[in-house]
Structure 1
Amino acid sequence: MNAPPSARAAHQRELVPNAGLSSATATDWMDTLWDPDAALLRATPSLAPHTHMVRETIWYAVGLLSRGGADDRTRAVEAVESVLANQFSQPGQVAHGTWRRWPGEPDPGPDAAEWRDYDPNWREFIGTALLLILHEFEDDLPAALVTKIDHALALATAGSRQRGVSAGYTNIALMAAYLYDGVGRRQDRPELCTAGEALATEVHALWARTGTFPEFNSPTYYGVDLYGLALWRGLSASPVLRGTGAEMESRLWEEIADRYHPELRNIAGPYDRSYGMDLQRYASLLGLWIELVTAGAHAPLPSGGPDGAQHAHDWCFAPCFALLAAVPTQEMSKRLTDFAGPRHVSTTVTAAPHRVATSWIGERLLIGAQDTGSAQEAGRFVETWTSQYCPVAVHWKEPGTTGGVHWLRAAPGTPVDARVDEEGVLRLVHRAGQSDDSPLRFEVCAPQTADEHITATRWELPGVTVQVAPAQGTDAVISRSGEVLHIEYVRTDAPGDGETRFVLRFATH
């Protein structure tokens, strides 16, 4: 028998004092997005032109059931019913068991392509949320709805297994393993339990090679990873999932604390995938977890809350995180609120292909770099999400503010490998093509920078001076796009292929 909502809420407050507040804040905001006619959440501006959100509505249902206020149960039931009505049932087809991203999305045809015509990952996102609802609130739901949820979980599990999620697709694999095992135990299907434990074992074995995940240092993916691992550690009945989940979760929190700067409210790069460069300007899932751990202090989230925040729809995930609770050690929690001093961090992400991430965390400066050794295959997400892959990232304290930052990065698509050494010196290798159409390009967000303060060898930026040792035969060309300054190093002699090397030294002021 599940505990009543009041007892569950008290238990979560005991685990994480900010859990109730974090969930309530997100749920109160989602109240403003609720469309009673559609029984779905209206889409946030970043998801336009779509009008409603299916996945986020199931997260809202978790928030409503957690809050347990007047009429919350009734609305939660409506929300779950509406989400279930948007599931694809196409046995043998690629989209079987997943959900529409928005109501009215056409049924995928026989030639449907993932991401374009459907999102295969909605099976895991929505499926695990449905399991969470059943685990915590089944006694609060009508029996007929519970039956429908079990049917939806069977469809989602079948479609996910048909797809065959790779262990290297970490964030989805973590959820899939819990989905298989959870549905298998609930529906007395041993073959699903076996599949869940097998995938969990494969994920752990891949992680154990280097002690980190191949989807490295993503402020969004790490948030999903913590969610999946918390499901393993906290709710799974499988000793395999519980044991390996606790081990990987503890190490992941340590890895996050190693690169996090609580005063700058950002995590040092490099990023395998990032939706933005400043965590105080968009809603990141990692930011929501850190908010839980720190009771809101030094949380890397937009100060104004979800209203107007970039990627605001991810804030809807907060009630699920709050229910599961975050469990870093006291030492790790302290490092998320108090700056632990300057340090150099080096992580071998994968040995084959070669990928090494190095970071410098200074009092007023963060530098992150990734070296792939010019590997042709540097990981699934390095290739797939080129526009969001960030092998070089630098943040520094914005003058005259308590927590604001300026930043620069290697522009998306720039072929570059880099390392930052123990003195905080950034060393880059630019791998040019067969022509001069792939210069070394930087993007700099430091408003009020005057063009005359940028030369090929020195950048005078607000809060930091950068000394550049450029390759011979190159010159800097400057352009602007909104608040972003673009600096390109172009060849002044005959173009050629091969490597050119640059060294950047930073002095904050």
Structure 2
Amino acid sequence: MSTEATAWMDTLWDPEARLLRTPRPADPPTHMVRETVWYAVGLLTRRSTGDLERATEALHAVLGHQYDVPGTVFHGTWRRSPDEADPGAEPVEWRDYDPNWREFIGTALLLILHHFETDLPADLVARIDSALVLAAEGSVRRGVRPDYTNIAVMAAYLYDSVGRRFGLPPAMRAGESLARRVHTLWSATTAFPEFNSPTYYGVDLYGLGLWGAASGSPVLWSLGTDMETALWREIADRYHPGLRNIAGPYDRAYGMDMQQYAALLGLWIGLVAGPDAAPLPSGGPEAAGHAHDWCFAPCFALLGVVPPEDVTARLGQDVVRPRYMATTISESPRRVATSWLGERLMIGALDAAGEGTPWGDQHCPVTVHWRAPDGGPVRWLRAAPQSPVDAAVDRDGCLRLRIRSSEPVRFEVHTPGSAPAVLAPGHWRLPGLGVRAVESQECFDVRTTSSRDGTFVEYRPTEGAPTLSLRFLTS
């Protein structure tokens, strides 16, 4: 997978900018700084004629786009694109700069030094060393929270490794301290706060893989091994090989079907179970949404992570009997995720005890995926982000929703290639799936709308905040 990803990135290389172009044409053309360092990992791994020279050019270009402005909130991070303006006197996070580029680029640079330092020119190694110190300085000043899981696991490795490389005990202590706080938070329920994300679980596996495969800290190695093993088993519990998706709910997702976009977890499963079994777009990165994330593949492959044998086996096994999981994500506020997997159907639900979420449109508290008996594409439905609902699926696959307010619950229904046949208040007949409301449907005013974005079914409470129960039957 690393070789294929690197070959695709070859087609994005701009020799004048010495950076990768964005995967899809943009007006004006833009380039990617972070993804270029991942390309350098692929080039150094492949080692074909000219790869070392191109990797050297790419790394020099990336290093030239780091901010060195001590005392600012963006010190030590990188531009996302060379066209990006300087953040200015009152910068706004995410709009004017991305603080997370410190961790994404910094850890990739450390991975390069870990494997390829002796291959690189001395002046380039010196520039990388300087950049790593700036990145660690800026990240420590920022104070990454342990509940920001994907960034925290990378930050802990960045601090500790920079501290060990340059003999900086405060940085080493900061790294091990953050690692312990991540582990303590996880240990309370053995679940990460950024729960069940098809993209960010991929970053978690990368960060924890660095703790185990490329760290000099016994603390990071021990804590990371503990969490990494448990995370792989959690993924295997919810992964459906037949549908090539992980069952919801998702705290953060960039799509509902991993066969339509480059989910980082899909890259990991492809590395473990084989590319033919990967939950990725069949047309490769050219056919993928979020295609730039495919550039991360060489970093994953270089770590050489091997999950437990039982996980590898389960990632390739069909679901032959129903499977049910209930996971307490946190106790305060109490958040519980439930999932049910059948032969051609899977359901996910989140009960957040009335609490909201900071993740906006990435948040998917209710999800249903299925496939028709004759095959065809995966179909799905979900409660739209920000829906005022707490939900749970039981061991029989019945989805129970509690409406938290008088605001409507809006379901988005995606059935590519065919339209729903019936969308009545108490019964939906969808391609390959029947849905029946078995409780309280009379307490709702139901409306349906259709557009090129899909079909939407809106349940608006007419009497207080009732409950709604849905049963599903594949056909």
State the TM-score bracket (shorter-chain normalisation): over 0.9
Contact 1:46–1:310 (CA<8 Å) still a contact in 2? no
Displacement of 1:308: 2.4
Q: Taking structure 1 as reference, are residues 392 and 104 closer, same or farther at Cα in structure 2, changes over 3 Å only?
A: same
Q: Does 2:429 correspond to 1:463?
A: no
Q: RMSD over aligned Cα, in angstroms?
A: 1.5
| SS of match in other structure, 1:327 | coil
| Letter of the 2:353 counterpart | G
Mapped to 1, the partners of 2:25 and 2:231 lie a distance apart of: 29
Q: Taking structure 1 as reference, are residues 32 and 392 closer, same or farther at Cα in structure 2, changes over 3 Å only?
A: same
1:353 to 320, 330, 333: 333
Contact 1:427–1:502 (CA<8 Å) still a contact in 2? yes
1:397 to 371, 382, 386: 371
Mapped to 2, the partners of 1:430 and 1:49 lie a distance apart of: 45
| SS of match in other structure, 1:94 | coil
Instruction: Please say which of residues 241-250 and 106-115 is displaced more in the overlay.
Output: 106-115
Q: Tell me the equivalent position of 2:171.
A: 192
Q: Tell me the equivalent position of 1:317.
A: 296
Mapped to 2, the partners of 1:153 and 1:449 lie a distance apart of: 52
2:395 to 406, 422, 433: 422
Q: Does 2:382 correspond to 1:409?
A: yes
Displacement of 1:326: 2.5
1:372-391 correspondence to structure 2 within 5 Å: 372-375=352-355, 382-383=357-358, 385-391=359-365
Contact 2:419–2:431 (CA<8 Å) still a contact in 1? no
Mapped to 1, the partners of 2:417 and 2:246 lie a distance apart of: 25
2:251 to 272, 278, 293: 272
Displacement of 1:400: 2.6
Q: Tell me the equivalent position of 1:247.
A: 226
Mapped to 2, the partners of 1:355 and 1:192 lie a distance apart of: 34
Q: Tell me the equivalent position of 1:485.
A: 455
Q: Taking structure 1 as reference, are residues 290 and 46 closer, same or farther at Cα in structure 2, changes over 3 Å only?
A: farther
Displacement of 1:47: 7.5
Deviations 1:313-340 (A, max 9, x none): 0000000000002321111101101125
Mapped to 1, the partners of 2:424 and 2:28 lie a distance apart of: 42
Mapped to 2, the partners of 1:110 and 1:249 lie a distance apart of: 41
Q: Does 2:159 correspond to 1:180?
A: yes
Displacement of 1:414: 1.1
Displacement of 1:49: 5.8
Mapped to 2, the partners of 1:152 and 1:335 lie a distance apart of: 41
1:44-443 correspondence to structure 2 within 5 Å: 44-45=23-24, 51-340=30-319, 341-375=321-355, 382-383=357-358, 385-401=359-375, 404-433=377-406, 438-443=407-412
Gaps of 5+ in 1: 1-21
Q: Tell me the equivalent position of 1:14.
A: none
Q: Does 2:4 correspond to 1:25?
A: yes
Displacement of 1:453: 1.1
Deviations 1:235-268 (A, max 9, x none): 1110000011011000000000000001110000
Q: Taking structure 1 as reference, are residues 327 and 53 closer, same or farther at Cα in structure 2, changes over 3 Å only?
A: same
Instruction: Please say which of residues 319-328 and 267-276 is displaced more in the overlay.
Output: 319-328
Mapped to 1, the partners of 2:338 and 2:25 lie a distance apart of: 32
Mapped to 2, the partners of 1:46 and 1:504 lie a distance apart of: 43
Mapped to 2, the partners of 1:177 and 1:240 lie a distance apart of: 11
Displacement of 1:46: 8.6
Displacement of 1:448: 5.5
**Which portions of structure 1, spanning 4 or more consecutive aligned residues, are displaced by more than 4 angstroms?**
46-50, 448-452
Identical positions, percent: 59
Mapped to 2, the partners of 1:326 and 1:462 lie a distance apart of: 40
How many residues align structurally?
473
| Letter of the 1:110 counterpart | A
Contact 1:168–1:215 (CA<8 Å) still a contact in 2? yes
Mapped to 2, the partners of 1:248 and 1:328 lie a distance apart of: 12
Displacement of 1:230: 0.2
Mapped to 2, the partners of 1:32 and 1:447 lie a distance apart of: 31
| SS of match in other structure, 1:373 | coil
Displacement of 1:475: 2.8
| Letter of the 2:375 counterpart | T
Q: Taking structure 1 as reference, are residues 442 and 65 closer, same or farther at Cα in structure 2, changes over 3 Å only?
A: same
Contact 1:263–1:298 (CA<8 Å) still a contact in 2? no
Q: Tell me the equivalent position of 1:12.
A: none
| Letter of the 1:62 counterpart | V
| SS of match in other structure, 1:301 | coil
Mapped to 2, the partners of 1:451 and 1:479 lie a distance apart of: 11
Displacement of 1:499: 2.0
Displacement of 1:399: 4.5
| SS of match in other structure, 2:404 | strand
Mapped to 1, the partners of 2:220 and 2:14 lie a distance apart of: 38
| Letter of the 1:410 counterpart | A
TM-score, length-scaled by structure 1: 0.91
Displacement of 1:104: 2.2
| Letter of the 1:391 counterpart | P
| SS of match in other structure, 2:257 | coil
Displacement of 1:401: 2.2
TM-score, length-scaled by structure 2: 0.97
Contact 1:184–1:191 (CA<8 Å) still a contact in 2? yes
Q: Tell me the equivalent position of 1:501.
A: 467
| SS of match in other structure, 1:237 | coil
Deviations 1:430-474 (A, max 9, x none): 1224xxxx3111000014555651100111011110001344342
Mapped to 1, the partners of 2:71 and 2:154 lie a distance apart of: 22
Contact 2:389–2:403 (CA<8 Å) still a contact in 1? yes
Contact 2:194–2:251 (CA<8 Å) still a contact in 1? yes
